[in-house]
């Protein structure tokens, strides 16, 4: 039994493409799914009032009240990519909503060569605890590109927020003045590589504050630290309700048989997301229950390893006709949404995870969710209440088998998960946190 949403299905927009009627055979679709080379026209972001049917008028009134004394203040967000990954998705929604509240917000993206993003990807993995030898050459590459971006950018805003390690050294652009600099870390710093953290820490200590996604990520720092849960936008292309006809067309396009259980993981092809482990868990579970596996994802412009990991996943899957691997471009949010809505179970078997917005997306859609007990995931998946936490390939396989054979329990998990997201992880809650933080760091208080 599928959880029932009280929200009406959204009508199709111009970006919801009509698929060709002359489709290839099901086998051909599985082995060579179509991708889209041309992005659709961007969909205008929603206005604040559009969220009223989801969160209620009191929440929106509070946001307007909190923004009252921040009108005219300016905010700059800086990160490493405009497409791909949860940070870019959040900023695409956060920036216009803050602007609507008359908090002028600018978003800049750093630039760099392949050598820079190879270094920062290695830093990212090392901060998650991977082995790494920090060389002088890597440090020079990191500092050189940060300096180039510092010279290219202007930093005239009242509050400047630098996201993650890639642009962390931009703090060297700080001058004497009233601007407040904040470092927003989206990754798991609970067990960082000591050399890499030792290299980055002197930059972080120059900020006025740091923000982490989980209590366990906080470090010993001489600056204030805040807890911000990442969020999803319930009105975005990836999360809004879809007409079932569109969902069916997407499934037909990619060879997903909705008459059989569908187990799905949506993630970048990244070793820390463990897509190979998902394949292994699926093959163990399928010995006992009939199901298909769907691995849907893509890459990000700041992640050079994606193609290598994708090939590893294909090798692990072999010629299994029940494993569907989709390498989708970042503008296929509607297709991802449709595939999640068509899924029976959602899996997120990460080895390390900052927060895992794909988990949030699954919970919001009322899907029974199985996820690793790492990073910020336990803040979302409360074991046996809003989902199931696992620690191994075998544990993941067991929970796939269990939930596929206990449908009433699975449906209750889905209902609980959706309510948990509504209370804690929606975009309106994130806007509230940013407004409160700006009041704190700028010394603004509403009387």
Least confident among 19-33, 275-289, 323-337: 19-33
**Confidence label for 73 from pLDDT (cuts 50, 70 and 90):** very high
The helix (run of H) or strand (run of E) holding residue 371 is strand 369-372
Query: pTM above the 0.75 mark?
Result: yes
- Cβ pair 352, 189 in contact under 8 A: no
Domain presence at residue 177: yes
270 plus 408 within the same structural domain:
yes
Q: What range does the domain containing 340 cover?
A: 235-424
- pLDDT reading at 36 higher than 70: no
62 plus 130 within the same structural domain:
yes
Average pLDDT over residues 296-300: 77
Q: What is the CATH classification number for the domain harbouring 123?
A: 3.40.50.2000
For 80-138, how does the pLDDT look when each residue is reduced to its tens digit (9 = 90+)? 988 777 899 899 999 999 999 999 999 999 999 999 999 999 999 999 888 999 999 99
241 plus 378 within the same structural domain:
yes
Domain presence at residue 34: no
284 plus 370 within the same structural domain:
yes
Distance CA 55, CA 422 (A): 8
For 366-416, how does the pLDDT look when each residue is reduced to its tens digit (9 = 90+)? 999 999 999 999 999 999 999 999 999 999 999 999 999 999 999 999 999
Average pLDDT over residues 226-246: 95
**Confidence label for 34 from pLDDT (cuts 50, 70 and 90):** low
Total domains in the chain come to: 2
CB burial string 431-442: b at 16+ within 10 A, e below: bbebbebbbebb
Judged on CB neighbours under 10 Å (0-12, 13-18, 19+), 239 is buried
147 plus 172 within the same structural domain:
yes
For 249-263, how does the pLDDT look when each residue is reduced to its tens digit (9 = 90+)? 999 999 999 999 999
Least confident among 39-48, 65-74, 302-311: 302-311
Query: DSSP string covering 288-307, please?
Result: TS--EEEEEE---TT-TTHH
Average pLDDT of the chain to the nearest whole number: 89
Domain presence at residue 80: yes
pLDDT of residue 331: 85
403 plus 371 within the same structural domain:
yes
């Amino acid at each position: 039994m599928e959880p029932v949403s009280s929200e009406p299905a959204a009508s199709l927009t111009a970006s919801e493409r009509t698929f060709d009627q002359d489709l290839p055979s099901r086998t051909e679709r599985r082995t060579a799914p179509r991708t889209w080379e041309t992005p659709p026209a961007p969909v205008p972001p929603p206005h604040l009032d559009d969220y009223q049917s989801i969160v209620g008028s009191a929440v929106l009134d509070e946001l307007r009240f909190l923004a009252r004394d921040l009108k005219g203040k300016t905010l700059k967000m800086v990160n490493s990519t405009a497409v791909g990954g949860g940070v870019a998705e959040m900023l695409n929604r956060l920036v216009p909503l803050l602007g609507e509240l008359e908090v002028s917000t600018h978003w800049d993206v750093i630039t760099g060569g392949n050598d820079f993003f190879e270094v920062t990807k290695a830093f990212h993995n090392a901060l998650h605890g991977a082995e790494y030898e920090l060389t002088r050459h890597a440090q020079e590459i990191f500092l050189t590109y940060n300096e180039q971006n510092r010279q290219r950018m202007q930093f005239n805003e009242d509050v400047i927020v630098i996201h993650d390690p890639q642009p962390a050294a931009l703090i060297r652009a700080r001058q004497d003045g009233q601007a407040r600099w904040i470092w927003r870390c989206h990754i798991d710093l609970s067990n960082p590589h000591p050399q890499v953290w030792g290299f980055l820490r002197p930059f972080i200590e120059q900020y006025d504050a740091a923000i982490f996604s989980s209590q366990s990520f906080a470090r010993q720092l001489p600056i204030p630290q805040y807890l911000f849960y990442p969020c999803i936008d319930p009105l975005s292309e990836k999360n809004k309700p879809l007409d079932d006809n569109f969902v069916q067309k997407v499934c037909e396009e990619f060879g997903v048989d909705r008459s059989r259980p569908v187990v799905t993981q949506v993630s970048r092809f990244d070793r820390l997301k463990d897509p190979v482990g998902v394949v292994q868990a699926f093959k163990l579970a399928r010995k006992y229950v009939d199901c298909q596996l769907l691995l849907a994802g893509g890459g990000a412009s700041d992640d050079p390893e994606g193609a290598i990991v994708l090939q590893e996943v294909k090798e692990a899957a072999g010629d299994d006709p029940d494993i569907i691997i989709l390498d989708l471009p970042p503008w296929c949010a509607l297709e991802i949404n449709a595939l999640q809505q068509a899924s029976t179970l959602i899996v997120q078997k990460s080895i390390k995870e900052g927060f895992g917005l794909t988990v949030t997306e699954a919970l919001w859609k009322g899907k029974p969710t199985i996820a690793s007990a790492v990073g910020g995931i336990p803040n979302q998946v409360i074991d046996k209440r809003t989902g199931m936490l696992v620690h191994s390939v075998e544990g993941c396989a067991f929970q796939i088998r269990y939930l596929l054979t206990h449908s009433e329990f699975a449906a209750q998990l889905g209902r609980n998960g959706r309510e948990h997201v509504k209370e804690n992880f929606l975009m309106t809650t994130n806007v509230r946190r940013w407004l409160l933080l700006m009041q704190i760091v700028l010394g603004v208080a509403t009387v």
